[in-house]
């Protein structure tokens, strides 16, 4: 039996290197929990990330998070999944899973919807269903005041009335987590989305196949993928699914997985009208991706990553080993649209 693996990332974007020690501490703290839901709560409660408490505010000064999860029996493409948008809770991932588990009961035989022939949905507006299964205390934990950080309220007040001009801050995006155990693989993600986003906008963390995906082939290779960056482009490319589908075909040794990931992203980006632009107003790919390639026969695992964003910070831990933290950047003078990539045996 192989040791459990936990992988976390805190977003592909433009994190400040002046805060690198804080980022390292946050990633290590989350990994030290050695449990995916506990790790997610550490990340979501930190004002260093753009989800849960401290999320970016929408055009009306409100927090609206997106969150989704995939849980698969190891070696199986049969998965449990669910996604919410408009999540107003300090722990979007835990709340998403908890509420979906309670909603599932409505679709069981004997449940309110179990005998009317409806399929269980995958993507739902959290704000529309939370009252069906949540207590008042649960709902109040997602109140506006409990989620807005002083820093983000200051940004909102300073720039909202200036037509959003001269807006500048560290860019952080979707967080993600992968946990691989002997019996199951779990992938989870959440995000507060863009600052000043249109209320009701759904980001990639709220769309299964965009920010996260899981694929298995012939009970031999399993691919778990997480993506972050420009949500609109990630959604249009179904990026996590596209990468997982592409890598699952490489079931022999000797492939350069990181280079293949870049090739897949390049190919998929050529099929859409990109929405990200650089300072010269040129369209660019602005994403990051992490995949864990799990050989189900040998239990050997490889973590592969790439990003075209200025930075991508993540870490992983195997069993009780010391956590590894990677602060990957394009360099001091990044040329957006190029890629940094790498691979780790875990």
Q: d(Cα 243, Cα 256) in Å, to the nearest integer?
A: 14
Q: How many domains does the chain have?
A: 1
Question: What pLDDT sits at residue 280?
Answer: 84
Q: Alpha-carbon Rg of the chain, whole angstroms?
A: 19
Q: Which letter does DSSP use for residue 109 in this model?
A: T
Report pLDDT for 219: 80
pLDDT at 250: 79
Q: Which tokens belong to 317?
A: 């831990």
Q: pLDDT tens digit string along 263-300?
A: 999 999 999 999 998 888 899 999 999 999 999 989 99
List the domain range (segments joined by +) for residue 26.
5-345
Beta bridge partners of 227: 289
Give residue 165's pLDDT: 46
Q: What pLDDT tens digit does each residue of the chain (346 aa) get?
A: 579 999 999 999 999 889 999 999 999 999 999 999 999 999 999 999 999 998 999 999 999 999 999 999 988 888 899 999 999 999 999 999 999 998 998 888 888 887 887 889 999 999 899 888 765 455 555 555 679 988 888 888 887 776 554 555 566 779 999 999 999 999 999 999 998 899 999 999 999 999 999 999 888 899 999 999 999 999 999 999 999 999 998 755 557 899 999 999 999 999 999 999 888 889 999 999 999 999 998 999 999 999 999 999 999 999 999 999 999 999 877 777 799 999 999 9
Determine the pLDDT at residue 62: 92
Do 209 and 281 touch, CB atoms closer than 8 A? no
pTM of the model: 0.93
Tell me what pLDDT residue 257 has.
Answer: 92
Q: What is the CATH number for 68?
A: 3.60.20.30
How crowded is the C-beta side of 130, counted as CA atoms within 13 Å?
22
CA dihedral 267, 273, 278, 279 (to 10 degrees): 160
In Å, how far are 121, 222, 313, 326 from 20, measured between CA atoms?
Answer: 40, 32, 9, 10
* Closest among 20, 318, 343 to 179, alpha carbons compared: 318
Tell me, what's the pLDDT at 136? 47
What pLDDT shows up at residue 187?
98
Sorted by sequence, the CB contacts under 8 Å of residue 21 that are 6+ apart come out as none
pLDDT of residue 231: 95
CA atoms of 31 and 7, how far apart (whole Å): 8
In 111-251, beta strands by DSSP E: 123-125, 175-180, 184-191, 212-217, 221-229
Pair of tokens at residue 16: 């400040």
């Amino acid at each position: 039996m192989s040791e459990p693996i936990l992988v976390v990332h805190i977003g592909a974007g433009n994190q400040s290197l002046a805060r690198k020690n804080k980022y390292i501490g946050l990633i290590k703290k989350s990994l030290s929990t050695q449990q995916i839901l506990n790790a997610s709560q550490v990340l979501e409660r930190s004002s260093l990330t753009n989800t849960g408490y401290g999320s970016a505010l929408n055009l009306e000064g409100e927090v609206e998070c997106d969150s989704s999860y995939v849980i698969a029996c190891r070696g199986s493409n049969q998965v449990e999944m669910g996604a919410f948008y408009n999540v107003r809770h300090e722990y979007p991932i835990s709340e998403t899973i908890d509420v979906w588990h309670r909603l599932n009961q409505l679709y069981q035989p004997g449940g309110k919807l179990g005998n009317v022939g409806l399929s269980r949905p995958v993507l739902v507006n959290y704000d529309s269903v939370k009252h069906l299964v949540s207590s008042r205390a649960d709902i109040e934990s997602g109140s506006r005041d409990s989620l807005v950080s002083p820093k983000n309220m200051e940004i909102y007040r300073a720039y909202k009335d200036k037509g959003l001009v001269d807006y500048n801050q560290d860019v952080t995006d979707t967080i993600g987590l992968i946990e691989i155990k002997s019996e199951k693989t779990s992938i989870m993600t959440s995000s507060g989305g863009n600052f000043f986003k249109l209320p009701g906008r759904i980001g990639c963390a709220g769309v299964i196949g965009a920010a996260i995906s899981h694929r298995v082939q012939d009970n031999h290779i399993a691919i778990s993928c997480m993506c972050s960056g420009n949500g609109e482009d990630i959604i249009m490319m179904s990026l996590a699914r596209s990468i997982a589908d592409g890598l699952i075909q490489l079931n022999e040794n000797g492939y350069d997985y990181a280079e293949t990931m870049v090739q897949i992203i390049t190919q998929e980006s050529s099929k859409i009208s990109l929405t990200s632009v650089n300072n010269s107003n040129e369209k660019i790919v602005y994403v990051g991706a992490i995949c864990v390639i799990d050989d189900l026969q040998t239990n050997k695992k490889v973590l592969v990553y790439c990003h075209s964003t200025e930075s991508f910070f993540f870490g992983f831990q195997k069993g009780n080993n010391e956590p590894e933290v990677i602060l990957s950047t394009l360099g001091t003078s990044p040329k957006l649209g190029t890629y940094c990539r790498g691979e780790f045996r875990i």
